[in-house]
Amino acid sequence: MMVIRKGIAVSPGISIAEALVIDCEDYRIPCRTIEPGQRIVEVQRVRSAFKDAVRELTELAAAQDQASTGKVQDIFAVHLRFLRDRSLRKEISDMVRSQSVTAEYAVYTVLRRIAAHFTHVKDAYISERAADIYDVERRLLRPLLGRRREDVDHLTKEAVIVARELSPTQTASFKKQFVNGIATDVGGRTSHSAIVARSLGIPAVVALEDFSEQVRPGDTVIVDGSRGIVIADPDPTTMTEYRRYLQEFYALEQRLDAVKAEPAMTRDGTRIDLLGNIEFPEEAEDVLDKGGDGIGLYRTEFLYLSHETDPTEDDHYNAYAKTIQVFPSRPVVIRTFDLGADKYTQRKRFMPERNPFLGLRSIRYCLQNLPMFKTQLRAILRASATGKVKVMFPLITNLQEVRQAKLIMRDVMEDLDEDGIAYDKDVQVGIMVETPAAALTAASLAREADFFSIGTNDLTQYTLAVDRGNELVSTLYSAVEPAVLRLIRTIVQDAYKARIEVSVCGEMASEPEYVMLLLGLGIKTLSVTPPMIPEIKQIIRSVTLEQCHLVARKVIAMNSERHISSFLRSKAREILPEAF
Ligand code: PEP
Ligand code: MG
For 411-450, write each residue's pLDDT tens digit: 999 999 999 999 999 999 999 999 999 999 999 999 999 9
Between CA 299 and CA 278 the distance in angstroms is 6
Instruction: Give me the active site residues, please.
Output: 192, 505
Q: How confident is the model at residue 308 (pLDDT cuts 50, 70, 90)?
A: low
Between CA 27 and CA 49 the distance in angstroms is 16
pLDDT, position 580: 67
Distance 555 CA to ligand 2 centre (A): 24
Phi first, then psi: give them for residue 52, nearest 5 degrees: -60, -45
State the pairing for strand pair 388-393/229-232: unpaired
User: Do 12 and 225 form a contact (C-beta atoms < 8 A)?
Assistant: yes
pLDDT, position 77: 81
Distance 205 CA to ligand 1 centre (A): 19
Q: How far is CA 513 from the centre of its chain?
A: 23
- Interacting residues of 290 by C-beta distance below 8 A, sequence separation 6+: 260, 276, 530, 531, 533, 534
Q: How confident is the model at residue 249 (pLDDT cuts 50, 70, 90)?
A: confident
Phi first, then psi: give them for residue 206, nearest 5 degrees: -120, 180
Lowest mean pLDDT among 189-193, 343-347, 506-510: 343-347
Asked whether residue 502 carries a pLDDT value surpassing 90, the answer given is yes
Rounded mean pLDDT of 130-151? Answer: 74
pLDDT, position 150: 57
The CA–CA distances, whole Å, from 367 to 25, 298, 403 equal 31, 20, 11
Rounded mean pLDDT of 452-477? Answer: 94
Q: How confident is the model at residue 28 (pLDDT cuts 50, 70, 90)?
A: low
Segment holding 515, helix H or strand E: helix 515-520
Q: Measured from the CB, is residue 503 less than 6 Å from ligand 1?
A: no
Q: Measured from the CB, is residue 505 less than 6 Å from ligand 1?
A: yes
pLDDT, position 90: 94
* Better pLDDT: 496 or 257: 496
**Pocket probe mutation, ligand 1, options 299, 464, 503, 532, max atoms within 8 Å of Cβ:** 299
Asked whether residue 81 carries a pLDDT value surpassing 60, the answer given is yes
Asked whether residue 124 carries a pLDDT value surpassing 70, the answer given is no
pLDDT, position 538: 95
pLDDT, position 222: 97
Distance 284 CA to ligand 2 centre (A): 20
**Pocket probe mutation, ligand 1, options 191, 303, 342, 457, max atoms within 8 Å of Cβ:** 457
Q: Measured from the CB, is residue 458 less than 6 Å from ligand 1?
A: yes
- Mean pLDDT (the chain, rounded): 90
Q: What atom of ligand 1 comes closest to residue 454's alpha carbon?
A: 3
Asked whether residue 126 carries a pLDDT value surpassing 80, the answer given is no
Q: Measured from the CB, is residue 456 less than 6 Å from ligand 1?
A: yes
Asked whether residue 451 carries a pLDDT value surpassing 70, the answer given is yes
Asked whether residue 143 carries a pLDDT value surpassing 90, the answer given is no
Q: Measured from the CB, is residue 184 less than 6 Å from ligand 1?
A: no
pLDDT digits (tens, 9 = 90+) for 369-390: 999 999 999 999 999 999 999 9
pLDDT, position 99: 93
pLDDT, position 209: 87
Distance 492 CA to ligand 2 centre (A): 18
pLDDT, position 345: 59
Phi first, then psi: give them for residue 306, nearest 5 degrees: -90, 0
How many helices (H) and strands (E) the chain has is answered by: 24, 16
Considering only the C-alpha atoms of the chain, give the largest distance between any 2 of them, rounded to a whole number of Å: 84
| Nearest of 59, 51, 31 to residue 144 by alpha carbon | 51
User: Do 385 and 379 form a contact (C-beta atoms < 8 A)?
Assistant: no
pLDDT, position 49: 92
Asked whether residue 68 carries a pLDDT value surpassing 90, the answer given is no
pLDDT digits (tens, 9 = 90+) for 271-301: 999 999 999 899 999 999 999 999 999 999 9
Asked whether residue 344 carries a pLDDT value surpassing 80, the answer given is no
The CA–CA distances, whole Å, from 565 to 167, 489, 492, 574 equal 30, 17, 21, 14
Lowest mean pLDDT among 2-6, 114-118, 241-245, 563-567: 114-118
Q: Measured from the CB, is residue 506 less than 6 Å from ligand 1?
A: yes
Q: How far is CA 268 from the centre of its chain?
A: 36
220-224 β-sheet, strand order: 3-6, 229-232, 220-224, 14-22, 159-163, 179-184, 204-206, 8-11
- Interacting residues of 566 by C-beta distance below 8 A, sequence separation 6+: none
Ligand 1: residue whose CA is nearest its atom 4: 455
pLDDT, position 177: 87
Q: How confident is the model at residue 577 (pLDDT cuts 50, 70, 90)?
A: confident
Does the pTM exceed 0.85? no
pLDDT, position 64: 60
Phi first, then psi: give them for residue 236, nearest 5 degrees: -60, -40
pLDDT, position 563: 98
Between CA 476 and CA 542 the distance in angstroms is 31
pLDDT > 70 in the chain, percent: 92
